Amino acid sequence: MSKVTVYSKPKCPQCDLTKNFLKQHNIEYTSIDISEDEEALAKIRSLGIASVPVVETETETWTGFNPLKLRTLI
């Protein structure tokens, strides 16, 4: 199984949908709150990304709640 990281922030509906999808499908992931982790926020910004959630796997990175991409992790 590949490593999955979700960069998110509180009160973010798309973040919650993404994490709930992963939980429902028993996909292990690490959640990083960018409102509390300045290094993570800097990393996301350095990639030119300005919105969350950001889902990072070993092979790709995408933003937003994207069920089609999330299904590839099942």
CATH number, domain at 53? 3.40.30.10
The structural domain count of the chain equals: 1
pLDDT at 2: 64
In a domain, 70, yes or no: no
**For the sheet containing 61-63, what is the strand order?**
30-33, 5-8, 54-56, 61-63
Computed over every residue of the chain, the mean pLDDT equals: 95
Hey, what are 40's tokens? 């993570």
pTM, to two decimals: 0.93
Q: What is the mean pLDDT of residues 28-38?
A: 97
C-alpha distances in Å from residue 72, one per residue of 8, 19, 57: 20, 15, 11
Q: Which domain holds residue 21?
A: 5-64
